[in-house]
Structures are given as structure tokens and as C-alpha cells.
Amino acid sequence: MKAKALICDEKQNFTLQDVVLKDPASDQVAIRTCYTGVSIGTEFALIRNKISWGPYPLCTGYMGTGVVEAVGAGVDNFKTGDMVYFRGNDAMSLSDGTPVSCVSGTHCSRIVTRPNTTHGVAKMIPGAAMDVACMFVMPAVGLFGVDMANPRMGQTVVVYGTGLIGLGVVAACTHRGCVVIAVDISEKQLSMARTLGADYLISGKSGNVEDEVKKIAPEGADVVFECTGIPACIDQAIALCRTRGTFVWQGNYGNAPVSMHFIPAHVRLLKMFFPCDDGMQSCRRAVVKNMAMGALKWENCITHRIPFTEAPAMFKRINEGKDKSIIGVVINWQA
């Protein structure tokens, strides 16, 4: 099966290339991709080899929406024509036979995957827009961290870093009735946090964040979600917790060891949580359902919608790190 895919080489060059996917086996389905969402955090950690899931060349991307084109004989819960959302491609190669590491390989015009796995396929919930729902993973990651930490109604939470995962945390905590304090250096991202329910916005560029948080919560926050994934921010975020509060390592800090000052966490008697991944299908379904109902205005987080032909240039812009206007990117594979 032939397709077009966004490929990254070891020099971090991005190109659209012809790729070959195997026809679906009995336990697989083939999907025609409609839209894929871009993760500026994890995808570019893979691209820059901050974390590694396989050798170059890579096809990144781990969330998308599409339409089922073919169904293996052993699959009985999907049919041709089903609208779905999915987590990845099982395998692909370049046209010359060179294997491509699918990490997880959704930035491709077709998907061949095992649907009935933890990272497989699910049917679209009626009412959810395909172009918005393709960004389902980040709010699901945020929801999973919130579910683990279990902040209660009326408690004060700090969301330290309002990238797409942090924005998912803001939305999930808002739905629980928490008082939400959003902290970031980006005014644009803080504005997005406001649209998703943040009660207070604190700019990391001005003043002392700890002092600003104490004006709202004098004893410190009940729960702090560190969502930047930047090791230098860990101690800054721990300092915002109250005694016997909760700290959530919501970011991905890469393969390298990270450090923290022991005493500030120790004397606060903190509980810590380490969420990983997106909470599987229960969290995915919850966020897509909330999109369909209008309870999660995730379209507010999409800053760029592009045809797949512009994907290499967009990835180059993101990788250069100069354009701070890029937050949520949706690639249209139908264009």
C-alpha cells in the first residue's frame, strides 16, 4: 500500500516522501488519514534525540483522525467507512526499502494498525469535529494526570506551564470545580488558559511567581502540576506547594537524569505523582466526548491549520524555535 509521509532524517531535515505500508493483516485495519495533530513537546524531543523510540529516519506523530478503508478478516468491531481516531502506524518503509521508525507514525496519508490494542483505534463520537478531535492526546494526558492527583472541588491548583498538556490540565481542573492558577512566560498561552477556565494568570516574566501565588493561596497551592518538562523548573514549581500538598510530574523530562532539591519537598511532606501516557481509551473517549458536547473548547488551542504539503516547512519552523506563535498545529491530509 502506497502513501505519503512526513519523514525526518538524522540531520533533522523534513521531507514528504513516498512510503510503503503492508496491506492489513487479519487483525489490522487500513485508514485514510484526514487530520493529524502535532505535539511540539514529545515529537520534537524525538526529532532532537532527547528521547529515542527508534533509529532515523523517523515518521513522528501520535494522534489523528480518519476513515476506515479496509478491515482484516479477524476484526469484527470496525467496518469500512467508520470515522475513527487513532494513535499510530504499525510499520512503513521508504520506496527504496529503507525501514522507517514509526514514532508513532501518524503523519502519513494512510494508517495500517491493530485497532484493538492500548494504542489502537476508536470510533469517532458523533458531534466531534475531525480537525479538532485529531488533537485528542494532549488533553487526555492532562486529564490522566488530574485523575491521578484527584484535586477536589474548591481546591487551588497551579498549572506551571500552559503548553497543550498544561492547557489540558487547566480544562480538567476547571471541570472539577478547582480554583486554577496558570503560570507561563507566554501571554498567548495564558490567554488560551483563560478561555479554558483558568481563574488567575501569572506571567513568569514579571515579578516573583511564588509571591504572586501566595497572594491567591497564602499557604501555597493544594496541587501543583509541573507541565513544562524543563528540569530547571522543577524546584520552582515545588516551592508553590502547600504543606502536605501534591506535586505532579506532568512533563516529560527526557532520558537524562533530573535532579531536585530534597529539603523543600521533604519539609512540605509532599505527595508526588508521575503520570505517563494519556490514560488509555477512557481518557481519550472522555476528552473527545467533551469536544463533541462543547464542554472542551479545544479549537481555541489550534493556532495553525495547514495542508500536508506545508508540513516540512512547518516542522522546520517549529524545530528552529523562533516562532513563538506556533502552539497547536493541525495537518490536513485531504488537501
Are residues 127 and 159 both part of a single domain?
Answer: no
Residue 289 lies in a domain: no
Contact 37, 64 (CB under 8 A): yes
Does residue 174 lie within any of the structural domains?
Answer: yes
CB-based contacts of 55, cutoff 8 Å, min separation 6? 101
Cα–Cα separations (whole angstroms), residue 322 to 2, 165, 175, 203, 325: 35, 21, 34, 20, 9
Q: What angle do CA 124, 276, 123 make, to 5 degrees?
A: 10
Tens of pLDDT along the chain (335 residues) come to: 999 999 999 999 999 999 999 999 999 999 999 999 999 989 999 999 988 999 999 999 999 999 999 999 999 999 999 999 999 999 999 999 999 999 999 999 999 999 999 999 999 999 999 999 999 999 999 999 999 999 999 999 999 999 999 999 999 999 999 999 999 999 999 999 999 999 999 999 987 999 999 999 999 999 999 999 999 999 999 999 999 999 999 998 888 899 999 999 999 999 999 999 999 999 999 999 999 999 999 999 999 999 999 999 999 999 999 999 999 999 999 97
Contacts of 253 (CB under 8 A, 6+ apart): 229, 230, 231
The boundaries of the domain holding residue 166 are: 137-273
Comparing C-alpha atoms, which of 111, 72, 133, 118 is closest to residue 291?
A: 133
Q: Are residues 209 and 96 in the same domain?
A: no
Which among 255, 273, 291 is the end of a domain?
273
- The reply to whether 16 and 63 lie within a common domain is yes
What 3-state class would DSSP assign to 152?
A: coil
For residue 248, being part of any structural domain is answered with yes
* Domain assignment present for 263: yes
Q: How far apart, in whole angstroms, are the C-alpha atoms of residue 127 and residue 117?
A: 25
Does 148 reside within a domain? yes
Of 256, 273, 290, the one marking the end of a domain is 273
pTM here is 0.95
